[in-house]
Structure 1
Amino acid sequence: MSIQIQIAKDADAPAISETIIKTLRESNARDYPPDIIDRVIDSFSPSKILRLLAERQVLVAALDNQIVATASLDRDVVRSVFVDPDFQGMGVGRQLMKSIQSLAMDAGFHLLRVPSSVTAEGFYASLGFKKVRDEFHQEERTIIMAKTLAR
């Protein structure tokens, strides 16, 4: 399986949106109630993805020209890491995070933070991120995690 990691283009917005929504409905729905999933989905329509592409460094992972994952870097914060459930556990997320960490180091950051979902906490911990604290947005729990970057 040869995954290509690349900078997202505007034309990728619909596929990015589709990947995120599928992941939220299939993976995150095990840890969050439907009202929270629906609220989060509202943030990832193709038009809102286009706005994010202008504000952050967004990467996509593609397999045979099909986008199967995405992640973004907003200064020193990792955001919107989603891997299509059909491709989870195959190293795609790890490859994306390696690229995100390289972007952060190239930008001069020494600490990388991530607001993790309950669903992804174990994934980030396996990459060396440590829990800093919990945050709650109404009843939605987010785990703030951080990792020191070293070359």
Structure 2
Amino acid sequence: MDVQIRNASDSDAPAISKTIINALRESNARDYSSDIIDQVVQGFSVPAVLRMLTERQVLVATIDGHIVATASLQKNIIRSVFVDPQYHRRGIGRHLISTIESIALDAGLSLLNVPSSITAEGFYASLGFRKIRDEYYQSERTIIMAKMLMP
């Protein structure tokens, strides 16, 4: 399995949207109600992803040219890390986070934050992120986590 990571382009928006929505509906549905999932899905439509591409550095992971995961960096905040459920537990998410950490170090950042879902808290903890606090957006719980970067 040859995973390539690259910067996303506008033409990737439909595939990014599909990857995120699949992950939300399959993976996050274990930890969040269908109402919350439906609400979050709305934020990842193709137009929303196109807007995201103008506000953040968005990366995609591809296998054989097909997008299987995405992650983004906005200032010192990691956002929208999603791996297609068919490709979970293959190191793709770790590879994306490692790439983002390198980008952050190159930009002179020493601290990264991530607003984690309940579903991904263990994943981020395994990468050295530590819980700072919980935040609630209506009934959606998000875990704010942080990691100091070492050059």
TM-score normalised per structure 2 = 0.99
Q: Does 1:9 align with 2:6?
A: no
Superposition deviation, residue 107 in structure 1: 1.1
Helix, strand or coil for the counterpart of 2:43?
helix
Post-superposition shift, 1:106?
1.1
Alpha-carbon shift at residue 127 of structure 1 (Å): 0.2
Runs of 4+ in 1 over 6 A off after TM superposition: none
After superposition, where does 1:60-75 map in structure 2 within 5 Å? 60-75=60-75
Name the counterpart of 1:119. 119
Task: Provide the rounded CA distance (Å) in 2 between the counterparts of 1:136 and 1:51.
Answer: 24
User: Equivalent residue for 1:40?
Assistant: 40
Matched residue of 2:11: which SS? helix
| CA deviations over 1:86-140 (Å, ceiling 9, x no partner) | 0010000000000111111111110000000000000000000000000011111
Aligned to 1:132: 132
Shift of 1:33: 0.1
Of all paired residues, the percent bearing the same amino acid is 64
Residue aligning to 1:102: 102
In structure 2, distance between residues paired with 1:22 and 1:46: 14
Q: Which aligned pairs between 1:132-151 and structure 2 lie closer than 5 A?
A: 132-151=132-151
In structure 2, list runs of 5 or more residues that go unmatched: none
For 2:40 and 2:102, how far apart are their aligned partners in 1? 27
Does 2:93 align with 1:93? yes
| Residue type at the aligned position of 2:38 | D
RMSD across aligned C-alpha pairs, in angstroms? 0.4
User: How far, CA to CA, are the matches of 1:7 and 1:106 in structure 2?
Assistant: 16
**Inter-partner Cα distance in structure 2 for 1:52 and 1:101:** 19
> Separation in 1 of the partners of 2:130 and 2:19?
27
Q: Partner of 1:44: helix, strand, or coil?
A: coil
The AA in structure 2 aligned to 1:68 is: V
Mapped partners of 1:52, 1:60: distance in 2: 13
SS at match of 1:89: coil
| Aligned residue type for 2:136 | F
Runs (5+) with no aligned partner, structure 1: none
Q: Which secondary structure state, in structure 1, belongs to the residue aligned with residue 96 of structure 2?
A: helix
